Chains A and B, each alone.
Chain A
Amino acid sequence: DGGITQSPKYLFRKEGQNVTLSCEQNLNHDAMYWYRQDPGQGLRLIYYSQIVNDFQKGDIAEGYSVSREKKESFPLTVTSAQKNPTAFYLCASTPGYGYTFGSGTRLTVV
């Protein structure tokens, strides 16, 4: 079955550490996205990529980094510069008109 796989489902990070969230899709979609979701808030766009080897900052890119070396993969690194990283992170892809979302990664700073 086609879809988006995010891993891990839960992730714990110590202060000062970088962590990488995985997002893989087998839908052959060109565009991929990372969103952050906080309780009671909508989704906020972190980064997006519309083609391999190219990506753009979203509304809240500070403290995050991404790469897009393969069409299928769009990993997100949460760096130590992100001061409030505890959140639910959602990856999505699109063929152009609507998103398909992964099941999310919940990141907690301990």
Chain B
Amino acid sequence: GEDVEQSLFLSVREGDSSVINCTYTDSSSTYLYWYKQEPGAGLQLLTYIFSNMDMKQDQRLTVLLNKKDKHLSLRIADTQTGDSAIYFCAERRGSSASKIIFGSGTRLSIRP
């Protein structure tokens, strides 16, 4: 299909790791992104990965890319209450920035 797919909800205990998963569709995608949206706000770019990479780590964030399965994941270590937000996966198809396709977002909630 055409969609970038994510599960809608994830609940994690404070201090645990969160893993948000995404499947995309276009094997020619050049960049894959993770965005964070807090309530009533715009989207904030958290991280991105080139399609020729398998992993990218940035402080508490780890992105894993499995090109064979077209699977992208975002791991947040030591999840905090400030991590509560909606997380969007997005893929850029081809060379044009106009072809960025967003998933429907995963709402991450943190329980004490």
Contacts and interface: CB of A to CB of B under 8 A. Distances in A.
Interface of A: 4, 6, 31, 33, 40-43, 45, 48, 50, 56, 58, 90, 92, 94, 96-104, 106
B12 interface: no
B97 A31 contact: yes
A31 B98 contact: yes
Nearest to A41: B104
A50 B88 CA distance: 23
A90 to B, nearest CB: 6
A96 to B, nearest CB: 6
A101 B44 contact: yes
Interface in B52-78: none
Given A90-B42, A101-B44, A42 B98 contact: no
A66 to B, nearest CB: 14
**8 nearest A-B residue pairs (beta carbon):** A101-B42, A42-B102, A42-B104, A43-B102, A101-B43, A94-B97, A103-B42, A98-B45
11 contacts: A41-B104, A42-B102, A43-B43, A45-B98, A56-B98, A90-B42, A97-B31, A97-B97, A98-B45, A99-B97, A99-B100
A41 B102 CA distance: 9
A94 to B, nearest CB: 5
A54 to B, nearest CB: 12
Contact of A40 (B35, B42, B104): B104
Contacts of A104: 40-42
B48 A99 contact: no
Contacts of A94: 97
Nearest to B101: A42
Nearest to B95: A96
B29 to A, nearest CB: 13
A96 B31 CA distance: 11
B43 A33 contact: no
Nearest to B92: A97
A42 B4 contact: yes
B98 to A, nearest CB: 5
